[in-house]
Amino acid sequence: MTFDTIKLDKGLYTSDKGFTSSLEAIDPSENYKGTELEGLDAYERQLKRFDIKVKGPKSDPISKFFQTSDSAVLFPEFITRSVATVVTSKNVVDELIATTTNVDSMDYRSVQCEAIEPDNAKQSFINEGTFIPETSITLKDRLTTLKKSGRSFVASYEAIKSQRLDLFSVTLKQIGNYINTCQLSQAVEVLAEIGTVDIYSIESKSISYKDFIDIYTALAPYEFNTVIAETDKFNSILSLDEFRDGAAGLNMHATGNIITPYGAKLIHCQTNLLHNDIVAFDKNYALEKVQLGNAVDVDYDKIIDRQLERATVTSTVGFNRIVDKAVLYLAETA
């Protein structure tokens, strides 16, 4: 069977593998090495089969997908890839998490690891026949809260069928941005959950360089490598004289990455969850992302049937703190 004789149907979306993986199983890319189709995946070969151009000023209208029943099956994957381009490659949450766990059920209970305190460092040397110190790893006492975020289409097929796919892809990426914003809010909410997280008091509304020194030492033995701040505190940090250092300025202008004087990544969030406080942490130990199903889920059946006004694009995730001591909450006291 060659790529231009494959029968496409909705069943490819119902597989646990997902659409592209199911298509790859039928039409492996390795069969095309040394041909003009090398470098394309199974989905991209189908676009070529039906001569559908999805990028550039000469991209086809949306109606091109619906010329045949087979080509219509490709449209939900186009939507998925357009949104996933933002969700999977431009999601600031990826700069906050230590690991991602994929699950197939809403009932997921993570583990929590007991921190190894600096005071216990002297006990790290073990003599023959002596007790080996223990680190407790236990199940959390509650299930992970998974939340769905996304958008539904409100335009009818008739209204958008003549629109170019390149332009439509831009509007879909906006949904990806919205999903990213929702996931950032979830992550911040879990990181800033008061209880077992240590609190450091900031005596004024403006954070000082001394505060950064104290944060650095307070997080030890964990690394101070990430800071999340809402707008006022974010502006306060950027106003520090140390940020006007030549090397820091060159890095900021060259890469767009905002790094604190201690090398910690500075993340801006627009939520009100922090109440103008700050969270500092070690991203290597602090947070687990739990992903239900695919990174992006699309109502493929409705979209194939052109019922766009009732179709949805969503993502369902949750977050867990792994090691509480790897997180420090900075609260304003004045």
pLDDT in tens, 99-146: 999 998 888 999 877 776 655 445 567 777 777 777 788 888 889 999
What is the token pair recorded at 146? 């998974």
pLDDT at position 253: 53
What is the token pair recorded at 165? 């796919």
pLDDT in tens, 269-289: 887 778 778 899 999 999 999
pLDDT in tens, 43-53: 999 999 999 99
What is the token pair recorded at 63? 């109606």
E-state strands within the chain:
99-103, 111-113, 137-139, 147-152, 198-202, 226-229, 265-268, 278-281, 287-298, 312-321, 327-332
pLDDT at residue 299 above 60?
Answer: yes
* Inter-CA distances, 328 with 33, 61, 117, 207, Å: 51, 51, 14, 15
pLDDT in tens, 18-57: 899 999 999 999 999 999 999 999 999 999 999 999 998 8
Largest Cα–Cα distance of the chain, in whole Å? 79
265 touches 257 (CB < 8 A): yes
Q: 50-334 in CATH: which number?
A: 3.90.1690
150 touches 321 (CB < 8 A): no
What is the token pair recorded at 17? 């593998």
Name the packing angle between helices 75-89 and 19-26 (round to 10°). 120
What is the token pair recorded at 239? 């106003």
Nearest to 120 by CA among 136, 133, 137: 133
Report cis status (omega within 30 of 0) of the bond before 61: no
Give the separation between CA 322 and CA 324, rounded to whole angstroms.
Answer: 6
Give the separation between CA 309 and CA 317, rounded to whole angstroms.
Answer: 25
- Which of 69-78, 258-267, 303-312 shows the highest mean pLDDT? 69-78
Q: Are strands 312-321 and 147-152 parallel, antiparallel or unpaired?
A: antiparallel
pLDDT in tens, 167-180: 999 999 999 999 99
Domain ranges of the chain: 50-334
pTM of the model: 0.86
Q: Give residue for tokens 């006004």.
A: 309
